[in-house]
Amino acid sequence: MLTGSVIASSAPEAQEVPVAKLSFLAGFGAGYVLGSKAGRERYEQIRQGWDRAKDDPRLQSLAGMAQARADDALSSLRAKMGTDAPR
């Protein structure tokens, strides 16, 4: 589990974002959408907001950094396990 880890950008204006906070917000958002009694109109508002957010270069940068960290961690784990590790 990555609790307490942070995702940081090399850009000076970027702030560190705790992974736990990102996970919480994603879970909260999914729960809200699934449990919303506001109907289709509210769902569409939320979906449009998500579409705008996912196209934000800052979010794409964070996602790229998270993917790179996950790839590095997986490579490190495979190296520790030896060459028998499944791919």
Q: Phi/psi of residue 2, each to 5°?
A: -100, 20
pLDDT tens across 63-87, in order? 899 999 999 999 998 888 876 656 6
* Residue 14 contacts residue 24 (beta carbons within 8 Å): no
pLDDT tens across 11-28, in order? 544 456 677 888 888 888
- Residue in 74, 66, 71 with CA at minimum distance from that of residue 17: 66
Write out the two tokens for 47: 């979906």
Q: Would the pTM of this model clear 0.75, i.e. be above it?
A: no
* Residue reference for tokens 């791919």: 87
What's the whole-number mean pLDDT along residues 48-59? 89
Distance CA 49, CA 51 (A): 5
Share of the chain above pLDDT 70, in %: 71
Write out the two tokens for 40: 């289709």
Q: What is the mean pLDDT of the chain?
A: 77
Give pLDDT, residue 5. 52
Give pLDDT, residue 10. 52
